[in-house]
Amino acid sequence: MKRSLIRALAGAALAAPLALAADDMPKAHAEFIDNDGNAVGEAHLTQGPNGTLIVLEIDGLPVGPKAIHIHSVGTCDDHHDGFQDSAGHLNPEDKKHGLLNPDGPDPGDLNNFYVHDDGTGWAELFNARASLDGSYGARILDDDGAALVIHEKPDDHITQPIGGAGARIACGVIRGS
């Protein structure tokens, strides 16, 4: 009995610094809107020591696989024009697009995710090429901000410039929290 109590207390003592460290990590949030300006989900970003974790929660997009990228300008105001004002990918070193590209990937490239029949999707994506505060890789929260942009189709991870992902159907401005 004493040993299990000691193990439990030791486990709690070890977990406490980890929880405090997670609270100190830079964080950001994005609320997605579609081309009609309707809310369709959100993303939570947490910068860790080796990359940025992006958690997506989607509700209200068409079914199927979708591409998502970090775009270099933090605006989604032009939803009626397909979110073109968010510009191209976050890519200060002008890398080639695509997770499979030998001359890439650019810092804005992310894995695809899936939207289910009911319009919902959930995913965790990890990007080691970009950080919220610029301490490594491309800086997400720079002077003109950044946006997460969802495309109508999946990214093939090699075709230039956007992997054949098609039209931009949702956008969320990344805001520090």
Q: What is the domain partition of the chain in residue ranges?
A: 26-176
Label residues 23-40 b or e (16+ Cβ within 10 Å = b).
eeebbbebebbbbeeeeb
CATH classification of 26-176, choosing from 2.60.40.200, 1.10.1740.10, 3.50.50.60, 1.10.3210.10?
Answer: 2.60.40.200
Does this model's pTM top 0.85? My answer is yes
Residue stretches of the chain with pLDDT short of 50:
1-10, 12-20
Looking at residue 4, its pLDDT comes to 47
Looking at residue 22, its pLDDT comes to 63
